[in-house]
Amino acid sequence: MMNEMNFKMPASLNELALNLDNADEKTYLISGGTDLIIKLREKKIYSGTIIDLKGIQELNYIRQIEQTICIGANTTFTEMIHSEILIKNAPCLVQAAEQIGSTQIRNAATIGGNIANAFAGADAIPALIAMGVKVKMMNAKGEFFLKDIDEVVIGSGKNSLHKDEVITEVIAPVLGHGYKSFFGKVGSRERVTIAKLNMAVVVKNNHETGVIEDARVVLGSLGPKAFRSDLVEIELVGKYITDSLQTEFEKALITQIDISIAGRSSRPYKREAVKALSEDAFSNLFGSPAWRCNNEK
């Protein structure tokens, strides 16, 4: 019907593929609903087709298969926070999940929805980029394909999915020995806040030499989409963990902010805010300053 909202309730991926067959620009996929329902109301969209993914039980899981962690698209942030697999292998993802919205939002909102919504200040996305995840998708033919998270989230509120495609899974590698990860954010208040700046860091520290061998630093809320900052990463790789490295790390972050949002009114605030974030990242990843001094070479 022209002026009605249709509602599809697939119970399996097979049924979902059939529902996707006629998908057009008036087809909306809903999972937790915390973003879509607000959007439909804001844009006064009263007709079209809503496909509810929440009834698809086979999209709700967190599994470890050897060196890979698979997270079903319907997994909520509350479920991620309580996942032993993620607590052990992907602390930055758990830290991001913990800081998303409120208890009510975390109980409903899903990882698949957070990616598809592609909000520039989304908290899970920087952590997913830092983890180097791949996103598994399915089309109306029931075919599955993989893309890097960076190819799925392509801009502010923009994803690269066609109307007849759906995110089904997030695939994260188990980070090897010596890897640590961190997520932090700064907003206008401590909790239930939209990030004015957020950051995920994954580092590999060689315990024998004390040198950082690999670093991925992802910044969010600094542009249309979260991105890896080469200039900050270069500052870390090959270095010993010292207090002066922390200073250099902070300086590099400020430089990145100056480049990314030159001329923006939020720049002075974010230059200051990133200092607290860099301190949090350092103490979280490398322990207290006292511990670091003892290891200085």
* Residues near other proteins, by CB under 8 A: 5-7, 9, 30, 32-34, 37-38, 40-41, 46, 50, 52, 54-55, 78, 101-105, 107-108, 191-192
Q: Least Å distance between CB 270 and other proteins? A: 23
Q: Least Å distance between CB 46 and other proteins? A: 6
Gap between the Cα atoms of 103 and 224, Å rounded: 27
Q: How far is CA 5 from CA 35, 46, 116, 283, in A?
A: 18, 6, 21, 51
Q: Which are the contacts of 98, defined by CB distance < 8 A and separation ≥ 6?
A: 77, 81, 106
Q: Which of 37/231 has CB closer to other proteins?
A: 37
Gap between the Cα atoms of 232 and 274, Å rounded: 12
Q: Least Å distance between CB 97 and other proteins? A: 13
Q: Least Å distance between CB 43 and other proteins? A: 12
Q: Which of 50/236 has CB closer to other proteins?
A: 50
Q: Which of 104/209 has CB closer to other proteins?
A: 104
Q: Least Å distance between CB 287 and other proteins? A: 23
| DSSP H or E stretch at residue 215 | strand 212-220
Q: Which of 101/126 has CB closer to other proteins?
A: 101
Gap between the Cα atoms of 161 and 146, Å rounded: 12
Radius of gyration of the chain (CA): 20
**Percentages helix, strand, coil for the chain, rounded to the nearest 5?**
40, 25, 35
Residue 50 backbone dihedrals phi, psi, to 5 degrees: -100, 125
Q: Which of 191/251 has CB closer to other proteins?
A: 191
Q: Which of 97/217 has CB closer to other proteins?
A: 97
Q: Least Å distance between CB 31 and other proteins? A: 9
Q: Which of 34/246 has CB closer to other proteins?
A: 34
Gap between the Cα atoms of 294 and 210, Å rounded: 11
Q: Which are the contacts of 29, defined by CB distance < 8 A and separation ≥ 6?
A: 36, 50, 51, 53, 116, 166
Considering only CA atoms, which of 55, 6, 13 is closest in space to residue 31? 55
Q: Least Å distance between CB 142 and other proteins? A: 24
